[in-house]
Amino acid sequence: MRLGIFAKTFSGTDPHAVLASVREAGFSAAQYNMACSGLPAMPDAVSPAEAERVARAARASGVGLVALSGTYNMIHPDPARREEGHRRLEALAAAAPALGTRLVTLCTGTRDPDDQWRGHADNGSPEAWRDLLRSMETALAIAERHEIDLGIEPELANVVDGAAKARRLIDELGSPRLRIVLDPANLFEIASGEGQRRLVSEAVDLLGDRIAMGHAKDRAPDGAFVAAGKGVLDYPHYLRCLGAIGFRGALVTHGLEAAEAPAVARFLRAQLADAGLVEQNA
């Protein structure tokens, strides 16, 4: 596995400086965000010159871009906002291969009109699922046009709030371009050790054939998010589950401060070694 980090962990709008910081912190991969180029995270367009600037920065730093963040609220209650997200996804999808990646990550969304990461009572409604299917069909058509894959992440606050709904979505849409980003800390808020291990095992069993990338953060005992290694998540179990299905993609950490990044890199490297998994540096 390659160890990676959200590029946006590091401040700045120069991709050369941001990706150099990624490497200096001990990571060989990054999930890129166009904010690291001084653009909106979901820009209206990405020029060929800007895409090449990012690609050059990745080559110079030795950091592989394993994904591009393309999150927008796919079930926003305002259809116009969804359409705006689709248009901007097209811009990112068109640029992604030139940047050096063919995976764009999504947010399946929430009925909350103001925060795509905040839950809402209507997320479980048939109407919300219907709107998600329509949005995903549009997004997958974009992915086909640009020959990229789309990564969705089971997230408690979103309409796809667990592994079972992610599997349902995969089966209903039937597209090989729909992939999974698995973050075990998003599968529970507060759970016993046995409870969280069961959730992680079930998620890997259900979704293993579609997992394109693993995420790595943690949960404090009170349910708050913390940096990987500072919480209650059973990392040996998580990594053993990934190893058992032959996963060889990137493990990308986020939810941390830049100052914490070197220590998190050391923690994850040690966890991989203890699990008998080989770290890939390129």
The mean pLDDT value for 16-41 works out to: 98
The mean pLDDT value for 253-280 works out to: 94
Instruction: Compute the distance between CA of residue 3 and CA of residue 95 in angstroms, rounded to an integer.
Output: 24
Query: Do the domain assignments include residue 279?
Result: no
The Cβ of residue 160 has, within 10 Å, a number of other Cβ atoms equal to 27
Query: Do the domain assignments include residue 35?
Result: yes
Query: Do the domain assignments include residue 281?
Result: no
| pLDDT band at residue 156 using 50, 70 and 90 as cut-offs | very high
Query: Do the domain assignments include residue 173?
Result: yes
The mean pLDDT value for 140-165 works out to: 98
Query: Do the domain assignments include residue 130?
Result: yes
Instruction: Compute the distance between CA of residue 244 and CA of residue 158 in angstroms, rounded to an integer.
Output: 28
Instruction: Compute the distance between CA of residue 177 and CA of residue 209 in angstroms, rounded to an integer.
Output: 12
The Cβ of residue 66 has, within 10 Å, a number of other Cβ atoms equal to 22
pLDDT at 231: 96
Query: Do the domain assignments include residue 55?
Result: yes
- In percent, how much of the chain has pLDDT > 70? 100
Q: What is the pLDDT of residues 78-110, one digit of tens each?
A: 999 999 999 999 999 999 999 999 999 999 999
Query: Do the domain assignments include residue 69?
Result: yes
Residue 2: its H or E element: strand 2-6
Q: Which domain holds residue 181?
A: 2-274
Residue 14 has pLDDT above 80, yes or no: yes
pLDDT at 282: 61
The structure's pTM equals: 0.96
Residue 279 has pLDDT above 90, yes or no: no
Domain count, the chain: 1
pLDDT at 173: 98
Query: Do the domain assignments include residue 139?
Result: yes
- In percent, how much of the chain has pLDDT > 90? 96
- Residue of 105, 164, 159 lying closest to 134 (CA atoms): 159
- Residue of 183, 238, 172, 171 lying closest to 213 (CA atoms): 183
- Residue of 103, 107, 87, 99 lying closest to 34 (CA atoms): 99
pLDDT at 27: 98
Strand partners, 179: 151
Strand partners, 180: 152, 211
3-state secondary structure of 23: helix
The mean pLDDT value for 196-222 works out to: 97
| pLDDT band at residue 207 using 50, 70 and 90 as cut-offs | very high
- CATH number of the domain to which 149 belongs: 3.20.20.150
What are phi and psi for residue 107, nearest 5 degrees? -120, 120
pLDDT at 280: 83
